[in-house]
Structure 1
Amino acid sequence: MLAAQFTPESGFSIVEADRQPLNKGEVRLRVDACGVCGSDRQVLKGESVPAGTVFPLIMGHEISGTVVETGEHADDWQAGDQVVVYPFISCGTCSPCKNNQPNLCIRQKCIGYHLPGGFAEEVIVPAGQLIRMSKRCSSAAAALLVDAFATPYHAMSLSDIQAGGTVLVIGTGGLGLATLQLAKIFEAGQLGAVTRRVSGVKAAEKYGAQMCVSTQDGARSTARKIRRWSGAGGVDVVIDTVANKETAAMAFDVVRPGGTVTIIGMSEDTASIPIAKTVRRGIRIIASFGSMINDVRKLMDLTDSGQLDPTKLIAGTLQLQNVNQAFADDRASSGRWIIKPNDQTR
């Protein structure tokens, strides 16, 4: 099979990879679509490589595909089934796993980093990671549910967003745009966005933001505009999908007393907060990582019922041999790019 193999020294190479046999409980998928995540971009730049990642690497953890072969003890699936893959594999025995937090498993493995991923014509995955795909959803759109949408959905579920409340999303990359799109499901009353790019303003408005400001005007000016827009002493819930020291400072500056700051971005920055001021204002701080498999199932149901249209987040599709184009700087913040490995790759 063809695969896009990555090393820090050489970048991506299209290689002929060996087709491995199935173990018990595994299935082989033809990869129909695989999303390009911001985490993949960080690995490419050497900014944040998940511990335990071994190169050469076949990336790609936002996978949808079709079952082509099943191993022993994978009886729930058969050839032809269309599925998405929940990419986070937990150990089931550590403290977070025992406390129903498998997304925080200390021995977690992620398909696409610790195991071969979806930037290939085929991928082998444990049968327990599969979720049946909605018939209303294209393969490209379905692939985005497992991370691009599931990560903010999980974070928003923890954030106690009240119907009619004010929500501010920091960042208008793929994660931020997905968060904006999900806000209507949580019945946000006022929805705002912050972007560092002028072009991000129109993107945020397209995804439902009633107000969007660019940080190019400076942090103080931006914060004033947000507080003026939100009223009532500040924003109820701020969701930071960038999470560097500047955006963290802004989040604490504009949230209302008793409000919530939820952090899902993962920069390498170290941020500081004014402790006494934060305590006096009773700010709730949530750091949310990844998602649970049930989050993806719920998103699939929302898509099936027509309440969510993940197609909107697709920036474009590319053949496997053009994988490098998805990582070009001008394509980093326009939504999620999709690799389709079996589209005319030979």
Structure 2
Amino acid sequence: MKSYQVCECGAPLRLCEQDTPVPTGTEVLLQVTAAGICHSDIHFWEGVYDIGGGNVMRLADRGLKLPLTLGHENVGRVVAMGPEATGIAIGDERLVYPWIGCGTCAVCRRGDEQLCLKPQFVGAFRPGGFSDHLMVPHPRYLIDYGDLSPDQAAPLACSGVTAYGALKKFGDLLKSEPIVVIGAGGVGLMALAILQAMEARGAVVVDVDARKRETAMRAGALAVVDGRAGDAAAQIQAIINDRVWAVVDFVGSGSTVKLGTDLLTKGGRLVVVGLFGGEITIPTPYIPMRAMTVQGSYTGSLPELNELIALLRKSPAPYMPVEVRPLESVNESLNDLKEGNVVGRVVLAPI
């Protein structure tokens, strides 16, 4: 089995060869056919999150161990299974749900494994899909993705379910009010497709990159705004007729979160998803006086990914520019994403 592994944080991934594992119990072995590259892979690769004030949170302190095979947006073909694995067959093509928990705590039992305090996430705490094979602990994490191509399906495991989980937090508001989407990267573009599938009012999209704003318009945005414009907030409020009830921030920098809170009308909600890093200061009286809600959203649950697949199977395929590259391009691809040179998603194809 060939895998590209992080052996030193921030250093190029190394090609490693080892025996292909043999599944036991409920385990399922997949031959990887598509592996998306996500911004979270950048954080896992670098080993830190920026928490503002010149400080960082080190992932090694949270249980991340090297060497690590990245890759949590994976599609693969079943090639072997343990004797207790049921409900699947050799040759099945499946999308892998990566946000696996311990499976036994109260959080996992209620279906929110992504919030487990003892995570076993694929591509972080267990080997991921930047490899030609991937071991999954149980068939319940394997999802039939219908008629989508593998490169369309793979990003649903992170950008798709992350966007869906965040949008659900707005509830019925999506039907009655346009929302503001900050960030037109892979997750933001996926959010536009999901809003259309949900028959929502739509979104005004904010991004600092002109290419991404153009892509967002092609993906169905109501309007786009340059986040670096001095009057960005005024532009957005004018488009939405002054009252902004809902903002979802897929960037998560100090400046974007501040923009989100500045935009909110009384009773509005900001959902922060992105992990870019930074810090903000909010006068505490504003929180009750404006009755604002600032809420975090971390990926999505296994039930939500199943809901999303069912929703998208009734709708046209999401508009998501996808560039398929060979697995061997992983280091170049990670750097392209880090430098902001990717529009949409890069998906690695090991075979």
Normalising by structure 1, we get a TM-score of: 0.91
Please state how far the C-alpha of 1:2 moved relative to its aligned partner.
1.6
Partners in 1 of 2:63 and 2:30 — Cα distance?
24
Q: Which amino acid aligns with 1:4?
A: Y
Aligned AA for 1:200? K
Name the Cα RMSD after superposition: 1.9
State the alpha-carbon separation in 2 of the partners of residues 28 and 264 from structure 1: 31
In structure 2, C-alpha distance between the alignment counterparts of 1:16 and 1:266, rounded to whole Å: 32
Alpha-carbon distance between aligned partners in 1 of 2:263 and 2:316, rounded to the nearest angstrom: 29
- For residue 317 of structure 2, what is the aligned residue in structure 1? 309
Report the alpha carbon displacement of residue 169 of structure 1 after superposing the two structures with TM.
Answer: 0.2
Task: Say yes or no: does 1:68 pair with 2:79.
Answer: yes
Q: Which runs of 4+ in 1 moved over 6 A?
A: none
Which residue, 106, 110, 122 being the options, matches 2:133? 122
2:174 alignment counterpart:
162
Residue by residue over 1:142-164, the C-alpha shift from the partner in whole angstroms, topping out at 9 and shown as x without a partner, is 11111110011011112223313
Match of 1:20 in 2: 21
Residue aligning to 1:54: 65
Amino acid at match of 1:142: A
Give the Å deviation of 1:95: 4.5
* Cα deviation digits, residues 274-304 of structure 1 (max 9, x gap): 2212311111222111111111112222232
Counterpart contact for 1:81–1:132, Cα < 8 Å: no
Paired position in structure 1 for 2:199: 187
What's 2:89 paired with? 78
2: CA distance between counterparts of 1:253 and 1:288? 19
Q: How far apart are the structure 2 equivalents of 1:11 and 1:268? A: 23
Three-state SS of the structure 2 residue aligned to 1:250 is helix
- Mark the CA change 1:214 to 1:47 in structure 2 (over 3 Å): closer, same or farther: farther
Aligned counterpart, 2:52: none
Pairing 1:221-300 to 2, within 5 Å after superposition: 221-231=231-241, 233-300=242-309
Is the CA contact (8 Å cut-off) linking 1:89 and 1:129 kept in structure 2?
no
Quote the offset at 1:98 in angstroms: 4.9
Give the Cα–Cα distance (whole angstroms) in 1 for the partners of residues 245 and 200 of structure 2: 10
Residues 18-62 of structure 1 show CA distances to partners (whole Å, capped at 9, x for unaligned) of: 212222110110101011011002233443364222111111111
Instruction: Compute the displacement of 1:321 (Å).
Output: 1.0
Matches of 1:123 and 1:46, distance apart in 2 = 22
Taking the aligned partners of 1:182 and 1:135, their CA distance within structure 2 comes to 17
| Corresponding residue pairs, total | 337
Contact persistence 2:6–2:13 (CA under 8 A):
yes
d(CA) in 1 for partners of 2:96 and 2:321? 18
Which position in structure 1 is the counterpart of 2:223? 211
Query: 1:15 is paired with a residue of what secondary structure?
Result: strand
In structure 2, the residue matched to 1:89 is: 100
- Per the alignment, residue 153 of structure 2 pairs with 142
